[in-house]
Amino acid sequence: MTSQETKPVGKEIEAIWLRVCERLKGELGARYQYWVAPLRVLSAEGDRVVVACPSRFDRDKVVESHGDRILALIQEMDASFVHVDFVVDSRPRAVQPQAASARATTIDSLGAPQVEPVLVTGSIPLNKTFTFETYITGKSNQIAFNEAKRTADADLPIANPLFLFGPTGLGKTHLMHAIAWRKLQRNPNLRVLFITAETFMRLFVTALKANDTVSFKNQVRNVDLLLVDDLHFILGKEATQEEMLAAFDWLSDNQKQIVVSADRSPSLFEGLSDRARSRLLKGASIEIAPTDFELRLAILEAKARVIARERPGFVLNTQAAHFMAQRINTNTRELEGALSRVVMQSEGNRPITIENLNQWLADFLRAYDRRVTIDEIKKKVAEHFALKTADLESPNRSRSIVRPRQIAMFLARLLTPRSYPEIGRRFGNRDHTTVMHAVETIQRLTTMDPSFADEVEQLRLSIRNWPTDATSGAARPGAQAEGDQPQV
């Protein structure tokens, strides 16, 4: 960008930018809020638009992942603009009048309370990072997020209890912390008890042994908000179940909010009485499903952004983020653990390459990985697009074959330890630069087109879950498939 004076932002470029943002919001889903929403147009001079990014890390990430798409959308709306410059400008973003009005009616802008809240004795300390503002939403958890927020903002219970269920590591506990934070933001004098079901049982047993159940009942009932994590822990413990349900009944009758979590729906609890099951299902039971690729990628990018502020110079490139989001798909807790490993291993300017990730994260990948061969990938991709595997290896450059070939190369790079030259040889002796271009193209298209990203993800899953047997092309873990050569 030149040092000459630029014209102030006019209404025309502002209108173009708003339309660009609307398009990107639909294309990027959850990632829009983290990468595009903080951007703003600084100026438009001649054929050049200048866009401000809040930090160097944001600028580098936006240029790498979304720069070309932003330019293309601007040109689509005004062909006179040929260049987009992304610059670092950390000045606060101006708040539009209507935005200010909206913020005044909500508490989203307040963040976590600065003063440590006083909880009822025995409570789990609240995690300051577990707020609604830091919770990343996608198709699998949006309903749970909305209902948790609605519960937190209500003066009286809307659904009682609010029951969040799903596998471990998907954000149930995060939402429970967020509800507690928000309630205390709205009224710091609320009595909040946040415990695990195991702690509830331990306190109850201690009270029985001390012949002092009255004090225990007062502790768990004299509250405005009761949150119980991991309710499934007390299944089969009838006395504890009865005491907890009695507490729930008392709190509900007195218009006090109850929030509960478990690893499965109350309808699937074994050995639970019909009365108890009916009581737990009386409110709102909401599932948090396993994350999809887009949500895992958004979580990774958001976490990497926070880390970059604490460790200047750390950058999780797009290829690495895609690799981790594709390969580590069990739960977000493991994904965050893998990212922490990458941060430590990359110290000293060690490059974050696919080869290094395979080495650094071997235990994470080994937990659910099986050996996939390039032949498998070619066969599955060919079947999906109604082609022959020979078409993917042929010199044919028609679009109906080039795109499937690029997808197959991308998946080969993602799901196998093969190098670019080796993959190129397996696709008709193509040069390694052709494979690199294919990988970059598919990565770019998956960030721009959610439906295309879903199609690639479904292909990946179909390959990853392909059953193996003695006659199939898939090799058992540790075995080398016929025709596969050592990595180059």
Answer yes or no: is pLDDT of 436 > 80: yes
Q: Which pLDDT score is estimated for 144?
A: 93
Structure tokens at 142: 């949006």
Q: Which pLDDT score is estimated for 121?
A: 83
Q: Which pLDDT score is estimated for 369?
A: 57
Answer yes or no: is pLDDT of 488 > 80: no
Burial class (CB in 10 A: 0-12, 13-18, 19+), 376: buried
Q: Which of 216-225, 249-258, 344-353, 360-369 is the least confident region?
A: 360-369
CB atoms near residue 340 (< 10 Å): 12
CB 205 within 8 A of CB 244: no
Answer yes or no: is pLDDT of 476 > 80: no
Which residues have C-beta within 8 Å of that of residue 338, sequence separation ≥ 6? 324, 328, 361, 364
The per-residue pLDDT for range 357-387, each reduced to its tens digit, is 888 888 887 765 556 789 889 999 999 999 9
Phi, psi of 107, rounded to the nearest 5 degrees: -120, 10
Type of residue at 312: P
What rounded mean pLDDT belongs to the chain? 81
pLDDT-derived band at 163 (thresholds 50, 70, 90) equals very high
pLDDT-derived band at 118 (thresholds 50, 70, 90) equals confident
Q: Which pLDDT score is estimated for 106?
A: 33
Which among 217, 130, 215 is positioned nearest to 173, based on CA atoms? 130
Q: Which pLDDT score is estimated for 464?
A: 62
Q: Which pLDDT score is estimated for 434?
A: 93
Q: Which of 209-218, 298-307, 368-377 is the least confident region?
A: 368-377
pLDDT-derived band at 322 (thresholds 50, 70, 90) equals confident
Average pLDDT value for residue range 323-333: 81
The per-residue pLDDT for range 67-114, each reduced to its tens digit, is 888 999 999 888 888 889 888 875 544 433 333 333 333 333 334 444
Average pLDDT value for residue range 336-358: 87
Q: Which pLDDT score is estimated for 424?
A: 92
Answer yes or no: is pLDDT of 148 > 80: yes
Which among 407, 425, 411, 418 is positioned nearest to 463, based on CA atoms? 411
Q: Which pLDDT score is estimated for 370?
A: 56
The per-residue pLDDT for range 34-51, each reduced to its tens digit, is 778 888 888 888 888 999
State the angle between helix axes of 318-327 and 432-448 in degrees (0 to 180), rounded to the nearest 10. Answer: 70
The winner for highest mean pLDDT among 34-38, 228-232, 483-487 is 228-232
The winner for highest mean pLDDT among 270-284, 340-354, 356-370, 470-484 is 340-354
Centroid of chain to Cα 206: 40
Q: Which pLDDT score is estimated for 479?
A: 33
Q: Which pLDDT score is estimated for 108?
A: 39
Answer yes or no: is pLDDT of 66 > 50: yes
Type of residue at 333: R
Q: Which pLDDT score is estimated for 92?
A: 44
Answer yes or no: is pLDDT of 314 > 90: no
Q: Which pLDDT score is estimated for 367?
A: 62
Q: Which pLDDT score is estimated for 195?
A: 92
Answer yes or no: is pLDDT of 271 > 60: yes
The per-residue pLDDT for range 388-417, each reduced to its tens digit, is 999 999 988 898 999 999 999 999 988 887
- Tell me what percent of the residues of the chain surpass a pLDDT of 70: 86
Which residues have C-beta within 8 Å of that of residue 281, sequence separation ≥ 6? 163, 266, 267
Q: Which pLDDT score is estimated for 465?
A: 53
Phi, psi of 464, rounded to the nearest 5 degrees: -65, -35
pLDDT-derived band at 419 (thresholds 50, 70, 90) equals confident
Answer yes or no: is pLDDT of 153 > 80: yes
